[in-house]
């Protein structure tokens, strides 16, 4: 059956004119320009929330360590001491453990296998496995994805070539050694926090050099398991700053973050707070010490 003829008044719609096409492209470009910043803000909000959750888990792990061992995790002896094992698969605890807080709280972060040496058949292999382990909770998603630093010959015991599992978080040493985590293998008790657990910071985002993320830098080379070292300990008597990006070490060894306006911190009562970069030196020092008697006025 033949198709009916089109009436004389019918007009077919042609293709887009060039002007119409340019208008559509311009509208799409404007929408993309509005959408990209919005997506970035949503992504950063999610990253900041995940970062705070990481710190909350670590703060609770500190409390669980106190419940189990009778003391909070200690700062350990120093960066030259690997995690202490009394035998294969048997890490030392309490004042016998010379490694730092990052290793000591592993059992309370569901990382018992790493804490026990990851199946190593000798003490040295247990230490290597623990040092090179990548603990997802120790990474801020605003800065980097979880990954070990490149394998290389170690500069302290145990000997061998292996990577180091880094951390984006540090505990406060206050003005020197008056933070919640103290130098040496014997940790503080919660009763030592006379400023109040809700007023005292345990952990926070640490400042880093974004130009060298993924490689070894002076305050991010020993890894999460290190004892008393800038990798895992930062002072609170200097204000926190946003991450540096120039590859220059100026302003290193302090708290800071990849977040746009401040950093997350975990308090000794298990809560978390967001501290803006506008915080005063006096206020930040106050929350970073555990028995200074200061009154913190956070923005």
Whole-angstrom Cα distance, residue 238 to residue 280? 9
Whole-angstrom Cα distance, residue 292 to residue 298? 16
Domain residue ranges of the chain, discontinuous segments joined by +: 41-288
Average pLDDT over residues 158-164: 89
Count of other CB atoms within 10 angstroms of residue 67: 10
Note the pLDDT of residue 194: 96
Q: Which of 183, 206, 191, 198 is nearest to 287 (CA)?
A: 198
Note the pLDDT of residue 19: 81
Note the pLDDT of residue 262: 97
Among 22-26, 75-79, 245-249, the least confident range = 245-249
235: three-class secondary structure by DSSP: coil
- The rounded mean pLDDT for the chain is 90
DSSP letter at 94 equals G
Q: With the CA atoms of 282, 284, 289 and 293 taken in that order, what torsion angle do they form, in degrees rounded to the nearest 10?
A: 40
Note the pLDDT of residue 28: 84
State pLDDT tens for residues 224-255: 999 999 999 999 999 999 998 876 665 578 99
Average pLDDT over residues 82-102: 97
Contact (CB, 8 A) for 60 and 270: yes
More confident residue, 15 or 289: 289
Question: Does residue 4 register a pLDDT over 60?
Answer: no
Q: Can you read off the two tokens belonging to residue 11?
A: 């007009």
- First-residue to last-residue Cα distance in the chain: 81
Whole-angstrom Cα distance, residue 127 to residue 83? 6
- Strands 262-267, 201-205: pairing is antiparallel
């Amino acid at each position: 059956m033949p198709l009916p003829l089109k009436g004389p008044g019918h007009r077919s719609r042609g293709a887009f004119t060039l002007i119409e096409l340019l208008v559509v492209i311009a509208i799409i470009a404007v929408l993309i320009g509005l959408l990209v910043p919005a997506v970035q803000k949503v992504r950063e909000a999610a990253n900041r929330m995940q970062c705070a959750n990481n710190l909350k888990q670590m703060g609770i792990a500190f409390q669980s360590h106190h419940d189990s061992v009778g003391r909070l995790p200690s700062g350990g002896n120093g960066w030259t001491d690997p995690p202490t094992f009394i035998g294969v698969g048997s890490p030392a605890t309490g004042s016998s453990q010379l490694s730092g807080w990052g290793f000591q709280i592993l059992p309370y972060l569901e990382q018992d296998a790493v804490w026990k040496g990851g199946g190593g058949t000798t003490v040295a292999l247990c230490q290597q496995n623990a040092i090179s382990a990548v603990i997802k909770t120790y990474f801020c998603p605003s800065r980097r994805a979880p990954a070990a630093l490149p394998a290389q010959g170690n500069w302290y015991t145990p000997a061998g070539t292996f990577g180091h599992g880094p951390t984006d978080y540090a505990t406060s040493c206050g003005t020197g050694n008056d933070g919640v985590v103290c130098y040496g293998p014997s940790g503080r008790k919660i009763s030592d926090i006379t400023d109040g657990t809700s007023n005292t910071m345990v952990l926070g985002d640490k400042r880093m050099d974004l130009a060298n993320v993924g490689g070894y830098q002076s305050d991010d080379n020993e890894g999460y398991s290190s004892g008393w070292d800038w990798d895992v300990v930062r002072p609170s008597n200097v204000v926190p700053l946003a991450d540096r990006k120039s590859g220059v070490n100026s302003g290193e060894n302090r708290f800071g973050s990849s977040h746009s306006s401040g950093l997350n911190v975990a308090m000794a009562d298990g809560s978390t707070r967001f501290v803006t970069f506008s915080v005063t030196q006096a206020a930040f020092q106050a929350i970073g010490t555990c028995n200074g008697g200061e009154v913190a006025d956070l923005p």
